A = this chain, B = another copy of it.
């Protein structure tokens, strides 16, 4: 059965996240599966590189699915674009190797957390920014971010308190940058736990506001306890920026 690979983007504002949740929910996966199933006249299961939370956006999400069809990928792409709502876009669709799987084959991801850090309003980007008008100490945030990089047990940065699998992940880099009124936090790693990026962002924000010292990160990691890290930052500032497949 042919295997397909898609690159997607979405404005997550009005969705309950990536993952299908029964019949009545409004999720990205469900919208894609419904559209492809109707186009091809057969039940189709779509796998994403990972699940994004309710309200989280994607500049580039990768997904894959298997389906019996003689339709060339270009034609399927065109029809799928026409069938989807305007806040879910298919950037690319092609046939993939038989063994390709969007989640299992994924070797790395980059997330960007956008903060609007100004007293001036920003009416155009407000849907994908978290607003913090108070001054942020970017140097301290960068120091804390650097201290979190490497291969660690990230239990303290995971919302799932009953994780049975390993919470060891490799965080390759954290970049803290300002461009005008916006502060961008860029997290690159091999994979992320449930809520990990939002808890990392929330912890760095507390460092930036002077509510906790930058040199506390090692202790938070060592505690392996969710209560030691900062708050989970709001979903609307988070964007899945890139997925990598080696």
Contact = CB atoms under 8 A, between A and B. Distances in A.
Residue in A11, A59, A124 whose Cβ sees the most chain B Cβ within 10 Å: A124
A121 interface: yes
Interface in A1-39: 9-11
A92 to B, nearest CB: 8
A175 to B, nearest CB: 21
A121 B90 contact: yes
A89 B125 CA distance: 12
A81 B121 CA distance: 8
B123 A9 contact: yes
Nearest to A89: B121
Contacts of A91: 120-121
Nearest to A81: B121
Contacts of A10: 123
Nearest to A126: B86
B120 A124 contact: no
Contacts of A121: 9, 81, 86, 89-91
Nearest to A9: B123
Interface in A84-138: 86-91, 119-124, 126, 128
A133 B120 CA distance: 35
Contacts of A128: 124
Interface string A151-176: 00000000000000000000000000
A166 to B, nearest CB: 35
B9 A89 contact: no
A11 to B, nearest CB: 5
Contacts of A81: 119, 121
Contact of A123 (B86, B119, B126): B86
A83 to B, nearest CB: 12
A11 B89 contact: no
A11 B120 CA distance: 15
Interface string A58-70: 0100000000000
A41 to B, nearest CB: 24
A160 B49 CA distance: 54
Interface of A: 9-11, 57, 59, 81, 86-91, 119-124, 126, 128
Given A86-B126, A124-B128, 14 more contacts: A9-B123, A9-B124, A10-B123, A57-B124, A59-B124, A81-B119, A81-B121, A87-B123, A88-B123, A89-B122, A89-B123, A90-B121, A91-B120, A91-B121
